[in-house]
Amino acid sequence: MAIPGFAIAGELLAKVLPTVVEMILDAISGAEKSAEELRNKPITISIAFGGGEGDAVKVLRAIEESLPH
């Protein structure tokens, strides 16, 4: 029966909707939190953001020193 069905659905909705809305809002704000955490994470990789010249160039210099000038 349609009307009793809707009444039951309405009751169920009233019970689960706050939880569903909370879950959805968590999912949304979770994405912002993830982006913010990634943005604020200190970068520990040294050469990638210009923090140093790296090891490869030092090896290159050693090799070039071994070549005939």
Partner 1 sequence: MRPLIVFLFVAALGLVGCGGCGGEPFRRLAWGFRTVNYTAELTESVDKAFAAYGSAEMTRCKAAHPAAPPASTGDATATPIASPEYVKCIMPAVKLLRAWSGEEKGKPTGAGILPAIQSAQRAARLSLDAAFDFLHARGGKCKAEDTECSAKLEAWKAAIRPGLCALWEIVDRGVQLGAFTATTSSAYKTVKEMAGALCPAK
User: Which residues are at the interface with partner 1 (CB under 8 A)?
Assistant: 5-6, 8-9, 12-13, 16, 20, 24, 27-32, 34-36, 38-39, 41, 43, 45-50, 53-64, 66-68
CA 46-44-39 angle, 5° bins: 120
Closer to partner 1 by CB, 18 or 39: give it: 39
Reading the block at residue 58, the tokens are 């030092």
Q: What's the closest the beta carbon of residue 1 comes to partner 1, in angstroms?
A: 13
DSSP 15: H
Supply the minimum distance, in Å, between the C-beta of residue 28 and partner 1: 4
* Tokens found for residue 18: 């706050």
Least CB distance to partner 1 at residue 18 (A): 13
Phi, psi of 2, deg, nearest 5: -65, -50
